Chain A
Amino acid sequence: MTAIDDNPAPEKRLGSAKRGYSGKIHKVAADGVNSSLSALELESRLLELGFVEGARVEVLHEGIVGGDPIAVRIDNVTVAMRRREAMAVIVV
């Protein structure tokens, strides 16, 4: 989590976005994200699901327990994921 704390300006991450949020991907950076996957693997998987810089994202649905997992619309694909992994997606 240090990578997040070290940032001077807090960045908006998809993992903490509320339902209804809509925006654009600024960066996909899995370093320091608390996932069971290595940063490299998580980043690769996100890229393979279409999470690339510049793509439009929207949080469509939330789960019942702690608003987790979330369903994210990315271009015209919907992907279900845990908030924890969505932390690797920095949005604007």
Chain B
Amino acid sequence: MHLALVGTPNSGKTSLFNALTGSRQKVANYPGVTVERKEGFFVTPLGRQASLVDLPGTYSLRGRSPDEEITRDFVLGRAAGEAPPDLVLCVADSTNLRLTIRLLLELKQTGRSLMLVLNMFDIATRRGVSVDIARLSEMLGVPVVTSIAVRKAGIADLLRKTDEIAMKPQSSARENSWKVLSVAELRATQREADRIIAATVSLPARPDNWTARIDAVVLHPVAGLAILALILFVMFQAVFAWAQPLMNLLSDAFSGLGQFVHDTLPAGLLQSFLQNGVISGVGSVIVFLPQIIIIFLFILLLEDFGYMARAAFLMDRIMGGAGLHGRAFIPLLSSFACAIPGIMATRVIDNRRDRLTTILIAPLMTCSARIPVYTLIISAFIPDDQVWGWVNLRGLVMFGLYAAGITSALGVSFLIKFFMWRDYAPAPFMLELPDYKLPRLKSIALGVYTRAKMFLQRAGTTIFSMMVLIWFLASFPQPPAGTAEPAINYSLAAIIGHALAPLFAPVGFNWQIVVALVPGMAAREVAVAALGTVYAIEGGKEAADQIGQVLATKWSLATALSLLAWYIFAPQCASTLAVIRRETGGTKWMVLTFSYMFALAYAASLLTYNIAVTLGAG
């Protein structure tokens, strides 16, 4: 039988979904939209196979966003390619029934078989909430069960009732009489819901104080921002410091594997394809897995705890100045590690336009793949001097590059709002601040696992094919036998590089740089290795110092600065572009991102190069 989960945001829908289905989940997108479709499977005590779809959270069936339209269409049985649900589970946070009971009254009009699930019933009981379940079920005219999604036994009742409903002769022939409620009807259903609650639920004399106490500090205008800054600091430390040993391990493993292939197979196309195309290409992306896991661990922990909505509250006005939604804050922050999890995390923004703006600017945040490029050029060209007595010049340049990324992101967001969506006023900030809850570790582990799986699947498909393409460009046609020059100089990449060189001459790039930019499309830091290849330097990462020395003799300072400016904006990351295409559901936004970033990169380099040359650095 087919079941669907419906509930308001923060009703604990997802933890109930996880409790019912465990790891038997499938995450995909609904056709044509960017809404995530989560389906899981379980077996009832009587051995009935059941599929369960976790529908996007909603307060009503009006469908005011693509997510909510999915929920409405699915419940009404209008969703393309979806079987209408045999049973709709309406999930309520037991400590807060008002909004869900109203939603349930609306759901009743669709004529579907319904069951109300009072989730987190243990918390409600502990707070002194008591519910007359039999009476509530009678007044609502639907079966009511309680559940404690964190405990296995907590959902036994729900499973048993599901069997009972499945065995009953299908009485779901009731007509669908649902239509969009008018404001008068909304008022009336809310009053009806309040009347039912008054008759069946007794609220504690003293409400839970924990949330109020925590909020007194966390939402305090000064202390709150300090706490937010502290959380971000820890998060950054974790992403950069904790992930590093694991990333080194992965990176060493991949180069070891590459070396093994190199030593085992005879020199030739297959060897080069496996070592340089497959292993180092896919490896250069998989290296970021530890960072992605840590970021999602933090995001899911904060979300589950209930802090995310508070962060949005604190940042709303500050982000709003640049035309961004308060919820865009965490995705943008994640993009400092890697734009891919950042873009994936924009799913917390429910308004499509706000979400697109965030996706478009996320790649401008200085991701960790730029760090190798920045480090290489800075250490080769910027003297290790102190300025103003105590500031390290190299550190200052690095800081400047980060600041330039952030400033331009805010600027671009402002321009997007101004030029593209001037006629659409921004979605108002209206957000429920849920009560704090202890994070459910199992649920978080599942969430992290799902994200990591998605990332690896992508690395195995889209990114893999990109890598193969780039390897092909850098390897064909092959050099004539006995040549001393590096093979890449004869390849399509070199042909493209030479062809594009005149375009890049005004920004001070020589043809070698342009050639290195082609494989650099795979991932930004690959450009470092590619520069090494073009300048015929042997060796892996250890050779980075050596590459720097060579570059220092071959490039002018103006060229180096121009390349730094280029990398602030460069749209050079095939994986990010692939993720943008996937998340926005079309090529259009990917092309737009590529074009505007390319234009910005070119303009910034042109400006930097010419100013530097004028100042005598040419």
A85 to B427: give the CA distance in the assembly, Å: 11
Q: Judging by beta carbons under 8 Å apart, are A77 and B429 in contact?
A: no
A2 lies within 8 A of chain B by Cβ? no
A17 lies within 8 A of chain B by Cβ? no
Across-interface contacts of A69 in B (CB, < 8 A): 313, 316-317, 429
Across-interface contacts of B186 in A (CB, < 8 A): 44, 47-48
Q: Judging by beta carbons under 8 Å apart, are B429 and A82 in contact?
A: yes
Q: Judging by beta carbons under 8 Å apart, are A81 and B314 in contact?
A: no
A25 to B419: give the CA distance in the assembly, Å: 39
Chain B positions 384 through 427: 1 when the CB is less than 8 Å from some CB of chain A, otherwise 0: 00000000000000000000000000000000000000001111
Residue of A65, A75, A77 most packed against chain B (CB within 10 A): A77
Which one of B214-222, B286-294, B535-543, B587-595 is at the interface?
Answer: B214-222
Q: Contacts A52-B187, A76-B96, A85-B428 hold; do A41 and B215 have CB atoms under 8 A apart?
A: no
A77 to B187: give the CA distance in the assembly, Å: 17
In the complex, residue of chain A having the shortest beta-carbon distance to the beta carbon of B316: A69
Distance from A35 Cβ to chain B, minimum over Cβ atoms (Å): 6
Across-interface contacts of A45 in B (CB, < 8 A): 59, 64, 430
Interface size on B, residues (CB 8 A): 46
Q: Judging by beta carbons under 8 Å apart, are A65 and B318 in contact?
A: yes
Cβ < 8 Å to B, chain A residues 63-89: 63-66, 68-69, 71, 75-82, 84-85
A79 to B96: give the CA distance in the assembly, Å: 13
Cβ < 8 Å to A, chain B residues 168-190: 181, 183, 186-187, 190
Cβ < 8 Å to B, chain A residues 15-61: 35-37, 40-45, 47-50, 52-53, 60-61
Q: Judging by beta carbons under 8 Å apart, are B317 and A66 in contact?
A: yes
Q: Judging by beta carbons under 8 Å apart, are A80 and B430 in contact?
A: yes
Q: Judging by beta carbons under 8 Å apart, are B221 and A63 in contact?
A: yes
Q: Contacts A48-B186, A53-B187, A61-B215 hold; do A37 and B309 have CB atoms under 8 A apart?
A: no
Across-interface contacts of B428 in A (CB, < 8 A): 35-37, 42, 81-82, 84-85
Q: Which of B190, B212, B220, B432 contacts A77 (CB 8 A)?
A: B432
Residue of B211, B428, B432 most packed against chain A (CB within 10 A): B428
Residue of B95, B99, B207 most packed against chain A (CB within 10 A): B99
A29 to B343: give the CA distance in the assembly, Å: 38
Across-interface contacts of A49 in B (CB, < 8 A): 59, 99, 430, 432
Q: Judging by beta carbons under 8 Å apart, are B190 and A52 in contact?
A: yes
Distance from A29 Cβ to chain B, minimum over Cβ atoms (Å): 10
Q: Judging by beta carbons under 8 Å apart, are B99 and A50 in contact?
A: yes
A66 to B428: give the CA distance in the assembly, Å: 17
Q: Judging by beta carbons under 8 Å apart, are B313 and A80 in contact?
A: yes
Distance from B224 Cβ to chain A, minimum over Cβ atoms (Å): 8
A35 to B430: give the CA distance in the assembly, Å: 12
Q: Which of B59, B203, B430 contacts A76 (CB 8 A)?
A: B203
B78 lies within 8 A of chain A by Cβ? no
Q: Contacts A36-B426, A69-B316, A76-B207 hold; do A64 and B99 have CB atoms under 8 A apart?
A: no
A42 to B221: give the CA distance in the assembly, Å: 27
Residue of A64, A65, A80, A84 most packed against chain B (CB within 10 A): A80
Q: Judging by beta carbons under 8 Å apart, are A77 and B203 in contact?
A: no
Across-interface contacts of B424 in A (CB, < 8 A): 36
Across-interface contacts of A65 in B (CB, < 8 A): 317-318
A80 to B64: give the CA distance in the assembly, Å: 19
Q: Judging by beta carbons under 8 Å apart, are A63 and B432 in contact?
A: no
Across-interface contacts of A47 in B (CB, < 8 A): 183, 186-187, 190
A66 to B212: give the CA distance in the assembly, Å: 22
B442 lies within 8 A of chain A by Cβ? no
Across-interface contacts of A61 in B (CB, < 8 A): 215, 219-220, 313
Distance from B436 Cβ to chain A, minimum over Cβ atoms (Å): 11
Residue of B64, B224, B309, B433 most packed against chain A (CB within 10 A): B433
Chain B positions 182 through 214: 1 when the CB is less than 8 Å from some CB of chain A, otherwise 0: 010011001100100000000100010001100
Across-interface contacts of B219 in A (CB, < 8 A): 60-61, 71
Q: Judging by beta carbons under 8 Å apart, are B183 and A40 in contact?
A: yes
Cβ < 8 Å to A, chain B residues 93-150: 95-96, 98-99, 102
A35 to B59: give the CA distance in the assembly, Å: 20
Distance from B521 Cβ to chain A, minimum over Cβ atoms (Å): 39
A44 to B316: give the CA distance in the assembly, Å: 23
Across-interface contacts of B95 in A (CB, < 8 A): 76
B431 lies within 8 A of chain A by Cβ? yes
Q: Judging by beta carbons under 8 Å apart, are A63 and B317 in contact?
A: yes
B225 lies within 8 A of chain A by Cβ? yes
In the complex, residue of chain B having the shortest beta-carbon distance to the beta carbon of A72: B433
Distance from B321 Cβ to chain A, minimum over Cβ atoms (Å): 9
B60 lies within 8 A of chain A by Cβ? yes
A82 to B225: give the CA distance in the assembly, Å: 18
A29 to B432: give the CA distance in the assembly, Å: 21
B62 lies within 8 A of chain A by Cβ? yes
Chain B positions 486 through 516: 1 when the CB is less than 8 Å from some CB of chain A, otherwise 0: 0000000000000000000000000000000
Q: Contacts A37-B428, A62-B221 hold; do A77 and B98 have CB atoms under 8 A apart?
A: yes
Across-interface contacts of A82 in B (CB, < 8 A): 316, 428-430
In the complex, residue of chain A having the shortest beta-carbon distance to the beta carbon of B220: A61
A85 to B318: give the CA distance in the assembly, Å: 18
Q: Contacts A44-B183, A63-B317, A80-B433 hold; do A50 and B190 have CB atoms under 8 A apart?
A: yes
Q: Contacts A47-B186, A68-B317 hold; do A80 and B431 have CB atoms under 8 A apart?
A: yes
Distance from B575 Cβ to chain A, minimum over Cβ atoms (Å): 35
A18 to B191: give the CA distance in the assembly, Å: 28
Q: Judging by beta carbons under 8 Å apart, are A79 and B99 in contact?
A: no
Cβ < 8 Å to A, chain B residues 313-327: 313-314, 316-318
Supplied contacts A36-B428, A71-B219, A81-B428, 16 more A-B pairs, CB within 8 Å: A35-B428, A37-B428, A41-B64, A45-B430, A52-B187, A52-B190, A52-B194, A61-B219, A64-B221, A64-B224, A64-B317, A69-B313, A69-B316, A76-B98, A76-B203, A79-B433
CB within 8 Å of A: which residues of B? 59-60, 62, 64, 95-96, 98-99, 102, 181, 183, 186-187, 190-191, 194, 203, 207, 211-212, 215, 219-222, 224-225, 309, 312-314, 316-318, 424-435
List, sorted by A's number, 29 A–B pairs whose CB atoms are closer than 8 Å.
Answer: A41-B64, A44-B62, A44-B181, A44-B183, A48-B60, A48-B99, A48-B102, A48-B186, A60-B219, A61-B313, A63-B221, A63-B316, A64-B221, A64-B317, A69-B317, A71-B219, A76-B203, A76-B207, A77-B99, A77-B432, A78-B434, A78-B435, A79-B431, A79-B432, A79-B433, A80-B309, A80-B312, A81-B429, A82-B429
